[in-house]
């Protein structure tokens, strides 16, 4: 999609600016994503069988990444979230963020979204 690193990251930073921002009262430790070098908050809200996400981060690239994920996973059913493929990550050239290096948090964010979805789908 992008060949030049600068375009790719500028796009990501722009994406971050459109992120549906988490309300300050939801910036709690419970909503912190463990395993990121920057702080990331992710807040799920079930609405009519769909999960609605808001989020924020203190780093701009991380904010762009979480915005990308929110775009993909927002307002979906728990089953859709649990079944979603992560192929789009390769397409946008972010595979390096999925490496097992604990300093970056993309996989931790996806895990957390899926965990919310799983918990929600387990509700009666």
Partner 1 sequence: MKTAAVKPAFNVDELRAQFPILKELVHGKPLVYFDNAATSQKPRRVIKAESAYYATINANVHRGVHTLSTKATEAQEAAREIVRKHINAKHAHEIIFTSGTTAGINLAAASLGQLLLKKGDEVVISGMEHHSNIVPWQLACERHGATLKVIPITDSGEWDLKQVPFSGKTRILAISHVSNTLGTINPVKKLIAQAKKQGIVTVVDGAQAIAHLNVNVQDLGCDLYAFSGHKAYGPTGIGVLYGRDELLERMPPWQGGGEMIDTVTLIQSTWAKLPFKFEAGTPNIAGIIGLGKAIRWMEDYDKAVMARHEHALLQHATKELLAIDGLRIIGTAKEKVGVISFVIDPSSASGSGVHHYDLGTLLDQQGIAVRTGHHCTQPLMDRFGVSGTTRVSFACFNSMEEVDTMVAALKKAIKMLR
Catalytic sites, residue numbers: 36
Instruction: Name the minimum Å distance from CB 16 to partner 1.
Output: 10
Q: Which long-range contacts (CB under 8 A, 24 or more apart) does 89-92 make?
A: 91/1, 92/1, 92/2, 92/8, 92/68
7 belongs to the binding site for partner 1 (CB under 8 A): no
Among 21, 32, 38, 46, binds partner 1 (CB under 8 A): 38
In this structure, are strands 50-57 and 40-47 parallel, antiparallel, or unpaired? Answer: antiparallel
Q: Residue 44: which H helix or E strand, with range? A: strand 40-47
The smaller minimum CB distance to partner 1, of residues 38 and 121, is found at 38
Which positions touch partner 1 (CB under 8 A)?
Answer: 5-6, 9-10, 13, 36-39, 58-62, 103
């Amino acid at each position: 999609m992008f060949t030049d690193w600068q375009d790719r990251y500028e796009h990501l930073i722009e994406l971050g600016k459109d992120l549906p921002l988490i309300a300050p009262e939801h910036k709690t430790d419970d909503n912190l994503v463990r395993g990121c070098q920057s702080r990331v908050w992710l807040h799920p809200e079930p609405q009519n069988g769909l999960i609605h996400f808001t989020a924020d981060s203190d780093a701009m690239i991380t904010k762009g990444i979480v915005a990308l994920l929110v775009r993909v996973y927002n307002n979906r059913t728990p089953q859709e979230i649990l079944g979603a493929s992560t192929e789009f990550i390769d397409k946008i050239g972010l595979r390096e963020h999925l490496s097992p290096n604990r300093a970056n948090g993309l996989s931790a964010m996806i895990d957390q979204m899926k965990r919310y979805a799983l918990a929600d789908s387990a509700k009666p």
